[in-house]
Amino acid sequence: MASGNFGGMTPPLKPETLSLFEREMRDQVAAAAAALAEAQRRDDPLLVQAARSHLDGLLDLARRNGVTLEGAEVGGAEPLPA
């Protein structure tokens, strides 16, 4: 089976790996939130849409992997359905 997805099962993450993943997600979300704020400051609808979509995607990825992000990290992002 060369699909690389462990037969549909999620491989267990080591605590230190999850910790690193959480830190990286927080950094990525903070950067995406800053990009969204800058796009809103520039008042460019297309840039705002792209930045919001990127931020929402990161938040969805974090949520699917059990990482909860709150407050300033999420900026103006809209929560996605579970």
Whether residue 48 contacts residue 70, with contact meaning beta carbons closer than 8 Å, is answered with no
Whether residue 34 contacts residue 28, with contact meaning beta carbons closer than 8 Å, is answered with no
C-alpha dihedral sign at 9, 13, 73, 28: negative
Give the model's confidence band at 1: pLDDT under 50 very low, under 70 low, under 90 confident, else very high. very low
DSSP secondary structure code for residue 82 in this structure = -
Q: pTM here?
A: 0.66
- pLDDT at residue 26 greater than cutoff 70: yes
Give the model's confidence band at 74: pLDDT under 50 very low, under 70 low, under 90 confident, else very high. low
36-66 pLDDT per residue, tens: 999 999 999 999 999 999 999 999 999 998 8
C-alpha distance across the termini of the chain, in Å? 30
> What does the domain layout of the chain look like in residue ranges?
13-67
